[in-house]
Amino acid sequence: MTKRPASAGDSTRSVHGGEREHQATDALTTPIYQTSTFWFSDSEQLRAFQEGRSSREEYGRYGNPTWHAVERKLCELEGAEAAVLFASGMCAATTLFLALLPKGGHLIVTSDCYRRTRQFIDEYLTKLDVETTIIDPSDTKQLADAIRDETRLFFTESPTNPYLRVIDVAETADVCHRRGVDVVIDSTFATPVNHCALAEGADYVIHSATKYLGGHNDLLAGVALGSEEKIAPVREAVGVLGGVLDAHAAYLLLRGLKTLALRVARHNENGMRLARWLEAHSRVRQVWYPGLESHPDHATAKRTMKGFGGVVTFELDTDLEGAFRFTDACQLAYLAPSLGGVETLIEVPALMSFWDRTPEERAALGIRDGLIRLACGIEDSDDLIADLERAFAAL
């Protein structure tokens, strides 16, 4: 696949990337190839395909022209040689783990991590005798100390969920590569507009394309990107495991990507303004946002990221019931999981993602009762502030 042109800007690549080689007709937009299989004119054509003498589609679990247009566009945006799409971000992560971790292997992950990723590691990778070491985000000494002979992968989000810790990818990659360990960065919160981890030494980047890449809360998708060599076993695995993306969802993702740079710029703007406003509010104990000087990884974020995203995490000066009153009083922000869409979403992590844990278990994971995760959309920031003012009044 084509690497992104060094001279092309984010919006240019978002609009044009990967879409001039999609089909034989002259349609401006890439068609939806809504088919499960592709036919051959005769046995000789099929034999040429099987022998690798022709490149074409065969069956919908292995490829689709609509997918490939999305993959090419994402490669240009992320600076990758190859990409493979999945039915969800979780499918991207789990398939990558299954493809790359051998039985009895060792994985290193950071403590601040999406709950379902942690659940897959704890409940499913253990069945393959894969051991996992959990380290603090941004602690490269802990990382170096955790590496063993059987360590294959270091996995982290950057920024992480929900505390938005930011990893120094170049330093992390240096530590890992000296010991033969590959680095996997879940860059969902950053997007390729704000940060390109592959350029800093990561071996793999994954996204829940459901979030910012799709951008409209209307699809589920995931992607893994890297070099042709690195992505090959992951592509092979998805053909076997079957977590493939529907052609219509691929079309929606392709359409959403065209406005990615524009949307992310607005998310960045809203996130920064809301974070500063919340940090100054008397009923807020603490705000976590990489763009704030108070964030533990602000220096790294400022040095490596072009923007800080639309997610702002903050702790209210209240208890769990007060947090419920706060989110219930919002009239503009939707009480809902997820992030990265045009609509602003808000949640109490203790209720939304960790309600099945005891208060003590939540506290051990750093999930405080008054914790709020705000995923800013692209609305006018004045209206978002007014909505939160109404919520504060409920306290």
Separation in Å, CA 7 to CA 3, 41, 76, 240: 12, 42, 12, 38
Adjacent-strand bridge partners of 311: 375
Side chain identity, residue 146: A
Degrees, nearest 5: CA angle 122-159-268:
145
Side chain identity, residue 27: A
- Which string of DSSP letters, residue by residue, matches 225-257? EE-HHHHHHHHHHHHHH--PPPHHHHHHHHHHH
Q: Which H or E run contains 155?
A: strand 151-157
Stretch(es) of the chain classified as CATH 3.90.1150.10: 260-393
Among 175, 157, 173, residue whose Cα is nearest residue 165: 157
Residue 159: asked if its preceding bond is cis (omega within 30°), the reply is yes
Of 168, 182, 186, 369, catalytic: 186
Active-site pick, 10, 13, 73, 114: 114
CATH 3.40.640.10 range(s) for the chain read 10-257
> What pLDDT score was predicted for residue 366?
75
Report the DSSP beta bridge partners of residue 154: 108, 183
Distance (Å, whole) CA 79 – CA 30: 22
Q: Of all helices (H) and strands (E), which one includes residue 373? A: strand 371-375
Q: Can you tell me the distance from the alpha carbon of 3 to that of 228, in angstroms, rounded to the nearest whole number?
A: 11
Which CATH architecture fits 10-257? 3-Layer(aba) Sandwich (3.40)
Q: What is the DSSP string of 47-74?
A: HHHHTTSS----BTTT--HHHHHHHHHH
Q: What is the pLDDT of residue 22?
A: 60
Per-residue model confidence (pLDDT) at position 7: 67
Residue 114 annotated to the active site: yes
- Grouping H, G, I as helix, E, B as strand and the rest as coil, residue 219 is coil
Supply angle C-alpha 365, 370, 372, rounded to 5: 85
Q: Are 375 and 340 in contact (CB under 8 A)?
A: yes
- Is 211 annotated in the active site? yes
Q: What are phi and psi of 181, to 5 degrees?
A: -105, 135
3-state secondary structure of 186: strand
Low-confidence ranges of the chain (pLDDT < 50): 1-5
What is the enclosing helix (H) or strand (E) of 350? helix 349-352
Q: For residue 61, indicate whether it is catalytic.
A: yes
What torsion do the CA atoms of 173, 87, 262, 114 make, to the nearest 10 degrees?
-50
Catalytically annotated residue among 211, 230, 263, 368:
211
Are 344 and 297 in contact by the 8 Å Cβ rule? The answer is no
For residue 37, the 8-state DSSP code is B
CB-CB neighbours of 283 under 10 Å? 15
Question: In the prediction, which pLDDT does 1 show?
Answer: 41
Asked about 112 being catalytic, the answer comes back as no
H-run or E-run covering 184: strand 182-186
Strand partners for 223 = 85, 207
Composition of the chain by helix, strand, coil, percent to 5: 40, 15, 45
Structure tokens at 165: 């810790």
**Which member of 61, 255, 273, 302 is catalytic?**
61
CATH of 260-393, one of 3.10.105.10, 3.10.20.600, 3.90.1150.10, 3.30.70.960: 3.90.1150.10
CB 186 within 8 A of CB 93: yes
Residue 117, helix vs strand vs coil: helix
